[in-house]
Amino acid sequence: MKAPFLAFITLFATLAGIPCALAQAPIPEPPTIGAKGFLLMDHNTGMVLAESNADERLEPASLTKIMTAYAVFREMAAGKLSADDEVLVSEKAWRTEGSRTFLDVGSRVSVDNLLMGMIVQSGNDASVALAEHIAGSEAAFAGLMNAHARRLGATNTHFVNATGLPAEDHYSTARDIASIASALIQEFPEQYKRYKVKEFVYNDIKQTNRNRLLFRDDTVDGMKTGYTAAAGYCLVASAKRGEMRLISVVMGTSGPEQRARDSLALLNYGFRFYESHRLYDGRVPVQRLRVWKGQQTEVPVGPQQDVYVTIPRGRYEELSAGLDAVPDREAPVAQGDRLGTIVVSLGDEEIRRVPAVALEEVPAGNLWRRLVDSIIQLFRS
């Protein structure tokens, strides 16, 4: 149905005093999820679409390895580690219990293979080998993980190891796990592609990715399963349909089938009743603002990053946005200086505010330019 026709029907019904279901269909309650805690989030906006006990501290099991991978990717991005580097497998890594890549003690394994073993096979031995190689010990690496968690705002998270094996004071929440997963996807899109690999062979042993949604829905391209007896069955899933990417986190379900079924139910709910739109491209001018006493008289202004909004499905025509600019800005203006705010509204409700910054610098003008502008400003006032 075309939006103008829908608007006409809505207006007619309003004037006539007739309730109109077409005007704005109500969004139902999220599906019932058999988990200790869960959360559904739009990756691009951070908007939470469904949650329950999302801030309860729970054992994350192998969901821990999302942060393990994030920390490794940060080291690689900083040039301190490469995919071809070889890592010596210690006896501690080799003896680590639980799921494994079946590394040989004393062998040298590439970072690339260790990452695949950790991500696809959930190998605890691969996780410990990476941690020891980067930080000298698994405990020291856990400190690095905690530093990243604090920087990302995951304030209800504390890691003791790189694997997620049960340990005192090792915990996280559905909300924090979603934030960490979103940061990994945002910062390392090329590395994230590892999470959709369905099987990996190492040491002549083929293991299949435990994320069953990779085999059921081709829009799902990640992310990580987890299980211990204390934590229950956990799953972080991410799917992209069109421009919209959703991340679901379920923690503490009763079985591998339930975590898959519940995760897919959450994802389908989000895609069915919400939509995501990119309103502005990052570092692309929204407007040019007057600058006084500068070498240039105008400066391009826009957001630093792409601006997305998440809204109930079918209400796109109600979106509006504008720039609330800082008046009478004088040079010098540095690139990145905040010069206003992009305000986004849905109908009469303000739903998002995004800083608008100078996309170029404007140095101070010469004496003549400053004098002329001072006179103009005097007469304007």
DSSP calls for 229-298: TTTEEEEEEEEEETTEEEEEEEEEESSHHHHHHHHHHHHHHHHHHEEEEEEE-TTS-SEEEEEESBSSSE
Q: What pLDDT shows up at residue 134? A: 98
Q: What pLDDT shows up at residue 15? A: 43
Q: Considering the candidates 62, 90, 263, 276, report the single residue annotated as catalytic.
A: 62
Q: Is 36 one of the annotated binding-site residues?
A: no
Look up 137 and say whether it is catalytic.
no
Q: What pLDDT shows up at residue 24? A: 62
Q: What pLDDT shows up at residue 380? A: 83
* Cα separation values, 27 from 49, 274, 311, 312, Å: 11, 9, 11, 8
What is the fold, at CATH topology level, of the domain defined by 37-275? Beta-lactamase (3.40.710)
Helix residue ranges, H only, 61-194: 64-77, 91-95, 111-120, 124-135, 138-151, 174-187, 189-192
From first to last of its 381 residues, the chain has per-residue pLDDT tens of 333 433 443 444 444 444 443 446 689 999 999 999 999 999 999 999 999 999 999 999 999 999 999 999 999 999 999 999 999 999 999 999 999 999 999 999 999 999 999 999 999 999 999 999 999 999 999 999 999 999 999 999 999 999 999 999 999 999 999 999 999 999 999 999 999 999 999 999 999 999 999 999 999 999 999 999 999 999 999 999 999 999 999 999 999 999 999 999 999 999 999 999 999 999 999 999 999 999 999 999 999 999 999 999 999 999 999 999 998 899 999 999 999 999 999 999 999 999 999 999 999 999 998 898 888 888 887
Q: What pLDDT shows up at residue 182? A: 98
Q: Considering the candidates 90, 99, 122, 263, report the single residue annotated as catalytic.
A: 122
Handedness of CA 23, 32, 243, 277 (dihedral sign): positive
Look up 99 and say whether it is catalytic.
no
Q: Considering the candidates 36, 65, 182, 276, report the single residue annotated as catalytic.
A: 65
Q: What pLDDT shows up at residue 352? A: 96
CA distance 60 to 252: 9
Domains 37-275 and 281-380 share a fold: no
* pTM of the entire predicted model: 0.90
Instruction: Give the chain's length.
Output: 381
Instruction: Check if the beta carbon of residue 73 is closer than 8 Å to that of residue 191.
Output: yes
Residue whose C-alpha is closest to residue 60's, from 173, 208, 229? 173
Joined together, the tokens standing for residue 117 give 């073993």
Q: What pLDDT shows up at residue 2? A: 34
Q: What is the CATH number of domain 281-380?
A: 2.60.410.10
Per domain, the residue ranges of the chain are: 37-275, 281-380
Look up 206 and say whether it is catalytic.
no
Place of tokens 């920087």: 151
Place of tokens 């999220």: 30
For the CA atoms of the chain, what is the radius of gyration? 25
Joined together, the tokens standing for residue 14 give 């309003």
